[in-house]
Structure 1
């Protein structure tokens, strides 16, 4: 269960350089085909943090095609996690586990002024009272997290984002659902796991959020294994018990996505997605990630929007690891 105290740093007494605390906040402006995010990684053992702020609006593999990129890797870590201002122009405040504020004044007339309000309680993937697939044993919990020790502690939270963003002088109103997260634990940059993080948001606050492991070294492709997830239906938070995912790729980016997700009440949610915008994302120098804004369809609704991230850690995927048939497709 996530409580008010979890807004503070969770730094252990014997902290080393591999310990990390992270926040992810996404935002969509579907009518303009714009997808943006704020990602922060706090490394208490080194005294430094990463802050990554980006906007994309088209399908590309070339990072210079992004609308805006501001990645800074060595910002001094703030004293308090719940409220801080950074030298890159970002100010952050967490007033509760469900309520956050981000203000950012960057370069070239680019700004973010958004309030985020959770539409459900934080979904703690290690709390069996919330997640039916949570494991009581701490070792099993880490192994089943979907991202190893990086998700030793992790919650997802679908939020309503409201406010404005300005990108290179053009202002846009924002009023969207976006699934955001917070994690803490050892996050070594060697031995990261291939993983996928995917969600869909529809009118009526209908949401499906999922976490997967996959293996690009398999001869039959990147078979995705469901780890954790939830649906929000009519205001009710429903943990996931099973899922099947097929991603038809164009390189490391999706061409089409087919999702079947079963919630704890036995309802099967079937969704089909296609990319609206994507680009190569490098949240860590060791781990390029296919990062996509998806348009989603499901029975009765055709206006969904969401995210797919698929991470390819280089220490694993280099050296001939990726199966030849799959590698040829990536190179095409």
Structure 2
């Protein structure tokens, strides 16, 4: 269960350099085909943190085709996690686990001024009262998390993001749903696991969020094993009990996504997605990631917007591990 104190650091007394605490905050301007995010990784054992601010609006394997990239890997870690300002121009405030404020003054006339408000309780993937896929022991929970010990503690939260952004002098209003998360635990950069993270938002009455074990060495359609997820149906949060996923790839990027998801009330959700924008995201130097903004539809709904991330840790996928198809990058 996530409580108010979880907006604070969870640093253990014997903290080592592999310990990490993370925030992921994404948002969309669908009418402009813009996808933005703020990603923060706090390494208390090293006294440093990463803050990554990016915007994309097209499908490209080339990182320089992004609208804006500001990745800083060695910022000084703040004294507390509830309220802080960083040397890169970002200020963050967590009023509760469900409510955040972010302000950012970057470079080239780029700014972010957003409020994030959760639309449900934080979805703790290790709490059996919330997630029917939760495991009984901590060892089983880590193994089943989808991202190993990096998700030893982790919650997902679909939020409404509202405010304004400016990208290289051009301003945009933001009013969207996005699924964000907060994690803490050992996150080694050697032996990092492949994983997938995917969601679809059609409005506050219908959302699907999922976490996947991912093995890019297998053919498309056999790569993903469902670990955790939920649906929001008519405003009610429902944990997932089963799912299957087929991603047809062009290189590390999706071309077609087919999702089958069953919630705890045994309702089957069938979704299809195609990419609107994607990039090679490198949240860690060891881990390129196929990162996409996705357009979603169901048999009776259109206009869904969401995210697909698939991580390719280099110490795993190098040395001939991947099959030939996935090593041929396609960027239409």
In the superposition, the TM-score normalised over structure 2's length comes to 0.98
1:62-141 correspondence runs (5 A): 62-141=62-141
For the residues of structure 2 that align with 1:201 and 1:328, how far apart are their CA atoms? Answer: 31
- Runs in 1 of length 4+ with deviation above 6 angstroms? none
For the residues of structure 1 that align with 2:256 and 2:13, how far apart are their CA atoms? Answer: 46
Point out where structure 1 has 5 or more consecutive residues left out of the alignment: none
For the residues of structure 1 that align with 2:330 and 2:169, how far apart are their CA atoms? Answer: 37
Point out where structure 2 has 5 or more consecutive residues left out of the alignment: none
- Flag the 1:194–1:296 CA change in 2: closer, same or farther, 3 A: same
How many angstroms does 1:205 deviate by? 3.5
1:281-320 correspondence runs (5 A): 281-320=281-320
Q: Does 2:225 match 1:225?
A: yes
Which residue pairs with 1:7 in the alignment?
7
How many angstroms does 1:220 deviate by? 6.2
Which residue pairs with 1:56 in the alignment?
56
Conserved 8 A contact 1:4-1:97 = yes
For the residues of structure 1 that align with 2:139 and 2:57, how far apart are their CA atoms? Answer: 40
Conserved 8 A contact 2:118-2:159 = yes
- Flag the 1:259–1:219 CA change in 2: closer, same or farther, 3 A: closer
How many angstroms does 1:218 deviate by? 2.5
Conserved 8 A contact 2:18-2:188 = yes
- Flag the 1:331–1:258 CA change in 2: closer, same or farther, 3 A: closer
How many angstroms does 1:136 deviate by? 1.2
Conserved 8 A contact 1:177-1:205 = no
- Flag the 1:80–1:250 CA change in 2: closer, same or farther, 3 A: same
For the residues of structure 2 that align with 1:287 and 1:139, how far apart are their CA atoms? Answer: 24
How many angstroms does 1:330 deviate by? 4.4
Cα displacement string for residues 236-293 of structure 1 (whole angstroms, at most 9, x for unaligned residues): 1000000010000011000000000000000000000000000000000000000000
Conserved 8 A contact 1:215-1:221 = no
Two-structure CA RMSD over aligned residues (Å): 1.2
Q: Secondary structure at the match of 1:31?
A: helix
Q: Secondary structure at the match of 2:141?
A: helix
In the superposition, the TM-score normalised over structure 1's length comes to 0.98
- Flag the 1:17–1:255 CA change in 2: closer, same or farther, 3 A: same
